[in-house]
Structure formats: structure tokens, C-alpha cells
Amino acid sequence: MRMELIQPFINSADAVLAQGLESPISIENLSMEQEAYRRKGIAAEVCLMGEIEGRIIFDVDLGAAVQLASRLANVAVSETDEELIREAVCELANQIIGNSITTLNDQGFHFHVRPPTLHTSEQGSKSSEDTEALVMCFNTSSGNVFMNVALRYHGPAYERAVAAG
């Protein structure tokens, strides 16, 4: 997976999480994975179709999800407020992924995005050679946030990528 596909997600997560939490965040770890994704907390999944295809899983430790939901909703949220926590994670996924998609579209990639859905299974589908997944771990003041990005070029974008080597 090319850096031009990844960088917008890093930038967007950095900006949206820092604004939501009103504190700086850092990337703790970046790794490529071909194994099935194992969910770590509350997760939302977004699918892309078009010149870039694939899926992104946004996964937040329960403790961090509670803190994020509290900050975003401006009320004290407890671990039992499951619906509110899930909603908060989906909305954060929507904002981070939406902002990334904005950058990629403005770079000339055309594709469509579906609304985020909760990723409830413990394990995601395996990535393959052409949809290898990059897992990013962001360290926030409230805990860890993971983003698993498995995307590939499709159609004209694929031909452009092949031509560019």
C-alpha cells in the first residue's frame, strides 16, 4: 500500500482526535498485517468503492472509548452507556475517515463511501497480498485508538499506480 493512501488517514486521525480530546496524540506503532484483524475494543468499519476500494476499521479501547464519548458528548459517560459509546466511536470513525477521503478525492481519486457500521465480530476478514492492511496505533491521553486500513487501487487509479511503478 502506497504512502499517498496512508498519509491522509494519519493526518486526519491526528487532527480529529487532538481536537476531540483537546490534547496531543502520538503514533505508537505502525505495522503491516496479512492476518485476520482481531478487534480490541469498540470498532466501526467503513467500506470504500471506486478507484480506491477496501475497508477501514476504527477500533478504540473500551476505556478510551468511554473517555472519548464523555468528551464529545460533554457529559459523564459510563461503561454501561453502550449505545452512546458505540455512537461516539461510529461518529469519530465517520469524521476521521471522511476527512481522509476528502484529501484523497481532492488528489484526484474518485470513490464512494458507505456510512460506518459497527464491527461486532471478534475477528475481521483476512487481508490479501493486494489488500494488505496497515495497522496504526495512536496513543491518546485516554488510551489507544487503532486504525486498520486495507485499501487497493482499482480501475484507472490502479493503472496509474502500475505505470508509476
Partner 1 sequence: MEKFAPVKRSEDGQPVRYLIVDDSVFARKNLARMVESFGGQVVGEAGDGISAISEYERLTPDIVLMDITMPQMEGIEAAEKIVRDHPSARIVMVSSVGYQENIVAALQRGARHFVQKPVKPEVLYEVIKYVMRDDGTTVHGAGAGAGA
Q: What 8-state DSSP symbol labels residue 148?
A: E
Residue placing its CB nearer to partner 1 in the complex, 98 or 143: 98
Binding mask 50-89 for partner 1 (x = CB under 8 A): -------------------x--xxx---------x--xx-
Q: Choose among 123, 129, 128, 147: nearest CA to 27.
A: 147
Cα separation, 13 vs 6, in Å, equals: 11
Q: Quote the least distance from Cβ 124 to partner 1, whole Å.
A: 22
Beta-carbon count within 10 A of 81 CB: 17
Q: Measure Cα distances from 95 to 7, 100, 103, 111, 116 in Å.
A: 16, 9, 13, 17, 10
Binder among 97, 134, 135, 157 for partner 1 (CB under 8 A): 97
Candidate segments 30-38, 54-62, 94-102, 155-163, binder of partner 1 by CB under 8 A: 94-102
Residues contributing to the site for partner 1 (CB under 8 A): 16, 19-20, 69, 72-74, 84, 87-88, 90-91, 94-99, 101-103, 105-106, 113-115
